[in-house]
């Protein structure tokens, strides 16, 4: 049966130092990505995209509304036919 080995002060400090370095690297990498994306996409383009998406949604809602009406009429006709028999 092995006893759990606790890290000594020396190894604990080294581990914490390595962890800090890793965190700094990750922050640098993500920071660079954020700056590039910010420069690439302007606020105007974002607004255009949002407006275009809204128009597209309205068209899709109309189409879906027409489809649901058609489905309801088909179901109603089927029920009428079933009642006749």
What pTM value is reported for the model? 0.25
Domain locations along the chain: 9-40, 54-85
26 contacts 34 by C-beta, under 8 angstroms: no
- Asked if residue 48 has pLDDT above 70, the reply is yes
Contacts of 5 (CB under 8 A, 6+ apart): none
- Asked if residue 38 has pLDDT above 60, the reply is no
Q: Look at residue 37 in the predicted model and tell me its pLDDT.
A: 54
């Amino acid at each position: 049966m092995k006893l759990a080995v606790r890290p000594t002060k020396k190894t604990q400090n080294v581990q914490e130092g390595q962890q800090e370095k890793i965190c700094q690297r990750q922050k640098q990498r993500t920071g660079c990505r954020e700056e590039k994306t910010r420069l690439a996409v302007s606020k105007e383009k974002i607004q255009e995209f949002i407006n275009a998406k809204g128009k597209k949604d309205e068209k899709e809602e109309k189409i879906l509304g027409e489809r649901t009406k058609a489905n309801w009429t088909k179901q109603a006709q089927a029920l009428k036919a079933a009642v006749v028999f």
